[in-house]
Amino acid sequence: MASETRNIVIVGGGIIGCTSAYFLTRHPSFNPAIHKITVLEATAIASGASGKAGGLLALWAYPANIVPLSYRLHAELAKEHDGARRWGYRAVHCGSIDAKGKKLDAGGTDEGKGEEWKKLPKTHIKPGKTIGVEIPKELDWFDNESIRSYSEMGDPSTTAQVHPYQFTTSMADLAKEAGANIIFGKVTALDYTGHGVNGVTYEDKETKQSHTLPATDIILAAGPWTSKIFPDAPIESTRAHSVVIKADVSPYAVFTEIELPKDFSIPGKKRRHGKNVNPEMYARPDGTVYACGETDDLTPLPATADLVACDTSRCDDISAYLSSISSVLKSSEVLTKQACYLPLVSSGGGPIIGETGIKGLLLATGHTCWGIQNSCATGKLVSEFVFEGGAMSANVESLDPRNVM
Ligand SMILES: Cc1cc2nc3c(=O)[nH]c(=O)nc-3n(C[C@H](O)[C@H](O)[C@H](O)COP(=O)(O)OP(=O)(O)OC[C@H]3O[C@@H](n4cnc5c(N)ncnc54)[C@H](O)[C@@H]3O)c2cc1C
């Protein structure tokens, strides 16, 4: 099958589509003379969650059948392509802080009763070893008097990070240099009449003209949008806000359990707050701290990534929660306020990677909150499905899309 002419079309230029393109171009059977690889992206590379995620990589992530492979591939790619410089790859410490937040200087009116915080599923992990009230001395960007306890969740041998936007765009660039083509256009239809896939129709981003690309293989990697293109894919989505703050602090990823004071309120805002909040923070080597807040289902997924609505007051909430336990972050400039949608598998678990029962149509989606971590394994496995007819590097039977379709 690898010796035949192939038109491989990847739908979606997020981290999953771009790592798929990268690993396809690195597969030993890839021959640019007969194998055409095209990424079709509706708006811009990494315009969804892949450009707005935290970027934490962890050996203690899930699912266990692909995590070690992906973690290792991240390290290998960073070594091969100078990922430390190019996409901020580095090993980090990771811990969880239990803290009592302080009131902010001047509050607005705290209206109504706060709702329970909707956690990103990333924190559904075993708590680590509790060290006690003493937090590591390098974690000096938190106010000591606010901290009740600190639990270690990972160390630099088990935890690392990348800048997701830089990593995804680098994967796209490296795939392009090796022969892949990137087209900006929104896929409007997949043709899989007859014995398998035949083509992909898209609307060109600039001209708005409709075109059809012939396809022998389609990799559907459109994250939360996957079910809009292929309704049989059981993919849902949920929104999450995040901020990027200018602060050059020690290399830690920090999960939190913050109890807010009873009368906590944010200057100039009239908003309710839950009693306990759980923002996550990742210090980055570029002198910033990324922090994300809770998930919400207030606004359905829009047609394209550029139409995602960011409710800046939710970003302000995140900053206020951080400020309640960190004077350093309180006095730092907020550089970015943003929102994106997490792709979820309707029945839970995820991701789903592999065949659909339609010849030539593969799914690689539903990566929940570990899509950055699991991107490399997904891309590698996609390349094996395409050129070798099945997964070779990991047993991914439990992630077979046909189990949930
Ligand atoms: C707040 C937050 C923090 C996170 N932190 C982490 C983390 O620390 N570590 C980690 O491992 N994971 C993290 N994640 C999860 C990770 O971001 C996602 O799992 C991952 O980005 C999903 O990648 P994707 O390529 O499947 O989807 P996306 O990034 O959504 O990409 C899908 C792409 O498909 C394109 N597309 C959609 N429809 C069409 C169409 N019709 N035609 C053509 N193109 C189309 C979109 O424009 C988009 O570019 C986080 C997620 C969130 C929300």
Q: Does residue 3 have a pLDDT over 80?
A: no
Closest residue (by CA) to atom 31 of ligand 1? 14
Residue 110's pLDDT is 45
Share of the chain above pLDDT 70, in %: 90
Q: Rounded mean pLDDT of 12-23? A: 98
| Model pLDDT for residues 289-314, shown as the tens digit of each residue | 999 988 999 999 999 999 999 999 99
- What are 359's two structure tokens? 């010849």
Beta strands 276-277 and 288-296 are unpaired
Reduced to 3 states, what is the DSSP secondary structure of residue 83?
helix
pLDDT band at 272 (very low <50, low <70, confident <90, very high): low
Residues with CB under 6 A from ligand 1: 11-17, 40-43, 47-50, 53-56, 186-187, 221-225, 229, 240, 242, 292, 305, 340, 342-343, 365, 367-373
- Cα 91 to Cα 55, 59, 84, 177, 285, distances in angstroms: 12, 12, 10, 28, 11
Closest residue (by CA) to atom 41 of ligand 1? 187
**Ligand 1 geometric centre to CA of 4 (Å):** 32
What separation, in Å, do the N-terminal and C-terminal C-alpha atoms of the chain show?
A: 26
- Which atom in ligand 1 lies closest to the alpha carbon of residue 342? 53
| Model pLDDT for residues 122-156, shown as the tens digit of each residue | 655 554 555 455 688 899 999 988 999 999 999 99
Residue 211's pLDDT is 98
| Model pLDDT for residues 241-267, shown as the tens digit of each residue | 999 999 999 999 999 999 998 878 776
**Ligand 1 geometric centre to CA of 267 (Å):** 33
Residue 134's pLDDT is 67
Q: Which fold has domain 90-160+236-345?
A: D-Amino Acid Oxidase; Chain A, domain 2 (3.30.9)
Q: Rounded mean pLDDT of 311-338? A: 94
Q: Does residue 109 have a pLDDT over 60?
A: no
- Best substitution site from 9, 15, 374 to test ligand 1's pocket, by max atoms within 8 Å of Cβ? 15
Domain boundaries, the chain: 6-86+163-234+346-403, 90-160+236-345
**Ligand 1 geometric centre to CA of 186 (Å):** 16
**Ligand 1 geometric centre to CA of 112 (Å):** 34
Say how far apart CA 372 and CA 50 lie, in whole Å.
7
Q: Evaluate whether the domain defined by 6-86+163-234+346-403 bears CATH number 3.90.550.10.
A: no
pLDDT band at 111 (very low <50, low <70, confident <90, very high): very low
- What are 78's two structure tokens? 């960073």
Strand partners, 235: 345
Q: Rounded mean pLDDT of 160-170? A: 98
Say how far apart CA 209 and CA 185 lie, in whole Å.
9
Q: What is the mean pLDDT of the chain?
A: 92
Closest residue (by CA) to atom 20 of ligand 1? 371
- Which atom in ligand 1 lies closest to the alpha carbon of residue 341? 53
Reduced to 3 states, what is the DSSP secondary structure of residue 165?
helix
- Best substitution site from 23, 39, 41 to test ligand 1's pocket, by max atoms within 8 Å of Cβ? 41
Per DSSP, helices labelled H in 259-331 are: 312-323, 327-330
Q: Does residue 331 have a pLDDT over 80?
A: yes
**Ligand 1 geometric centre to CA of 124 (Å):** 20
In this structure, are residues 12 and 304 in contact, taking their beta carbons and an 8 Å threshold?
Answer: no
Residue 293's pLDDT is 87
Residue 288's pLDDT is 98
pLDDT band at 108 (very low <50, low <70, confident <90, very high): very low
**Ligand 1 geometric centre to CA of 371 (Å):** 7
Nearest CA to 67 out of 328, 403, 405, 396 is that of 396
| Model pLDDT for residues 186-222, shown as the tens digit of each residue | 999 999 998 899 999 999 999 999 999 999 999 999 9
Nearest CA to 385 out of 22, 20, 33 is that of 20
Say how far apart CA 340 and CA 356 lie, in whole Å.
27
What SS3 string covers 203-259?
A: EECCCCCEEEEECCEEEECCHHHHHHHCCCCCEEEEEEEEEEEECCCCCEEEEEEEE
| Model pLDDT for residues 339-370, shown as the tens digit of each residue | 999 999 999 999 999 999 999 999 999 999 99
- Which atom in ligand 1 lies closest to the alpha carbon of residue 43? 47
Say how far apart CA 223 and CA 237 lie, in whole Å.
9
Q: Is 59 exposed, middle or buried (0-12, 13-18, 19+ CB in 10 A)?
A: middle
- What are 176's two structure tokens? 């392009």
**Ligand 1 geometric centre to CA of 85 (Å):** 23
Closest residue (by CA) to atom 15 of ligand 1? 369
**Ligand 1 geometric centre to CA of 269 (Å):** 31
- Best substitution site from 18, 19, 20, 50 to test ligand 1's pocket, by max atoms within 8 Å of Cβ? 50
- Which atom in ligand 1 lies closest to the alpha carbon of residue 351? 19
Reduced to 3 states, what is the DSSP secondary structure of residue 56?
strand
Residue 33's pLDDT is 95
Closest residue (by CA) to atom 18 of ligand 1? 371
Share of the chain above pLDDT 90, in %: 84
**Ligand 1 geometric centre to CA of 51 (Å):** 7
